[in-house]
Every structure is written in structure tokens, then in C-alpha cells.
Amino acid sequence: MPSILALDPGYGNTKVCVDCRTASIQSAAARPRSIGLAAIGIKTASQARKVTFDQYRFAVGPESWHWGDSISSRDYSALATPERRAMFYAVLSELLPPGEYSSDLLVIGLPVPLLQDQTQAEPIFSNLKAYKGEHAFQVSQVENSSKASYRLRIDRLKVLAQPVGAYADWLLDNELRPRKGGAQAEVAILDLGMNTLDLYVIQGGRVEPRFVGGGKVGVRRLLELLTGNGHQVEELDAELRAGRLRPAPTDVEAWLAEVLAVIERTWSNLRRFSAVVPTGGGSLVLGERLRLALIAKGAAVHWPENPITANVRGLWKWGSRVRSTRET
């Protein structure tokens, strides 16, 4: 049974970690429309996953938009909506076989800009309490009548800033042992997601407020530089992931320049940090362009094994480390 769960409800990907194993899906959802027998003799447009719980029914993940209009809001208030819970359940179903489970603790990572606005964050904290307690849900393909059934009980919740996860992933190995000299290192986390770039610095287990910042220059900014031709952002994002959408080098360089400008405003000298850790889907999209640009500015870049799941792996490590410390 997984005693610790971690959830990173990103706007590009929803990520979950169980026992240091991670899975993710594109953060997309729709209310599937029934078409009766209209597709008889022919395949439907996609095989999106269907998640059913309480009175809700959602198509989630890649190509869910084929089944109905997208309801994937990028407003911070959407982080606690039923469709977000559906994405959480869908990712859990990739990590766990059908059955009954219990968890001592669910660690949830939230965006830094949201946490900086206490007025906006407090109602979301209240709504996140829906994750605590009993969960009963079913997961299947939209067309498939065969459903996998789950029951899950979550006893406690803990909310952290998403970049704290990347810091913990850098600091702790899979056996939760800290890296040599890591505890006192000054580590800068650069989290480039779908909506925002979050900047966060931790030293000795404590955040340094003067180095916390960011801006709305995530992957969506690159997609806005391209023509949508009536396509939803989720569709363009899927095309970008699959390599079928290839932005012009000038567009990528323009986006990188915006990202570097935001970094410069908060971190004027990257040489001071023991490590600079890029995470998030945007870091993966920029790849070597970002790594070399940071090195050129004097950064000691530590590139995670998987920038997309580094946050959620670290959130799980943090929760597991805290739990093991309390038990000893």
C-alpha cells in the first residue's frame, strides 16, 4: 500500500508519484458527448481515458478534446476542481492496479505565484480538502465498457511550493540520503511550466525570499507566438510534444529571450548559486538552448533526469523523508 502520495497538478502535465515511481498525463479534460451508434463501422477520433466518480464523468488526457469542448481552465482556482481530481485518478491508475488503497499523506505542489497571493490561495487550500478522505472512482477508455475500479483513503494533506519538490529531488537520492554538502548549498530552482516560470532558492532547508519570483512566460507564451488556426492550446501543446509542430528558430529564440529577462530581474548573478536546477516541460522544450544560455551566464547547471517529473519525485521524497524522520 502506498503510504505517501505526491501530486503536481501542473497546467501542462498532471504528475503523480507513488513509491518513487512517477507517471503523468497532459492536463486536458472534456465532458464526453454520447454519439450513440454514429461511429458504427469506423473508429472514433481518439481513445481518451474516461474517469467516473460521484456524479462526474470526464474524458481526460491527450485527445480528450475530440470528445467535447475543453474545460481545462488555466485559472488558479481550477486546481481544486472535479476535472483536476479526474486527472489525478487517471494518473494513479497508471501506477496502481485496481483495488483498495490507503495513504498516510498526500503532498501537493502548488505554483509559486499563487502561493505569493494569500487572498487567492486560501480558498484553494480550503477546496483542496476534497482530496482528504475516501475516494471511489473508475477508469476506462471512453469507448470501452470495461472499467477499472478503485477505492482510496487519504488521511492527511500537505501543500508545498512546486519548486520545493525539485530541490528535494536534487538533495535526496532514491533511498532518501542527502547528497554530500547538499544541506548547506544554495540551490536555485527554475521551474518553467505551461503558464509560468517560477524562480525559487533554498539554502539549508529554508527559502530565500529575495530570490523568489517569476513571470507568465511558460510554454503557452511560445504557443501564442504561433498561429492556432482555431486549434485549442491543448491541441497545439500535444502537437508540440509529438514533434509535429515545429516552431521556427526565431520564435524559440524570442521566447528564450523573454525567459532570460524574467530570470535576470530576480537572479542578477547566477554565479552565486551552488546549483541551478531547470525543471518543467518548458525546460524540456528549450533543452540545450536553455542549458547553454544559463552556463553562459555562469550557472552551475544541474539537469534533472526528467525535468517534467522532478518536482513530483521530490515532493514524494520530501513527504517520505519527513515521515521516516518522525518514526525514528
DSSP collapsed to 3 states, 165-201: HHHHHHHECCCCCECCCCCCCEEEEEEECCCCEEEEE
Express each pLDDT in 94-146 by its tens digit.
999 999 999 999 999 998 888 888 898 999 999 999 999 999 999 987 655 67
> How many Cα atoms are found within 13 Å in the side-chain-facing hemisphere of 123?
6
Residue of higher predicted confidence among 312 and 238: 312
Q: Which fold has domain 179-308?
A: Nucleotidyltransferase; domain 5 (3.30.420)
Nine cell digits for residue 50: 474516461
What tens digit of pLDDT does each residue of 37-78 get?
344 334 554 567 899 999 999 999 888 877 777 776 667 878
**In which residue are the cell numbers 505569493 written?**
116
Which regions of the chain carry the CATH code 3.30.420.40? 4-164+311-327, 179-308
- Band (182; pLDDT cuts 50, 70, 90): very high
pTM of the shown model: 0.89
Query: Please, are residues 44 and 63 in contact by the beta-carbon 8 Å criterion?
Result: no
Helix (H, G, I), strand (E, B) or coil at 46: coil
Given a contact cutoff of 8 angstroms between Cβ atoms, the answer to whether 70 and 237 are in contact is no
pLDDT at 142: 60
d(Cα 158, Cα 319) in Å, to the nearest integer?
8
Share of residues in the chain with pLDDT > 90 (%):
64
Produce one character per residue of 298-308: b if its CB has 16 or more CB atoms within 10 Å, e if not.
ebbbebbeebb
| Fold observed for domain 4-164+311-327 | Nucleotidyltransferase; domain 5 (3.30.420)
250 burial level (CB within 10 Å; 0-12, 13-18, 19+): exposed
Nearest to 232 by CA among 73, 80, 111: 73
Q: Which of 240, 167, 238, 156 minimizes the C-alpha distance to 208?
A: 167
* Cβ atoms < 10 Å from Cβ of 137: 22
| Phi and psi at residue 253, to the nearest 5° | -65, -35
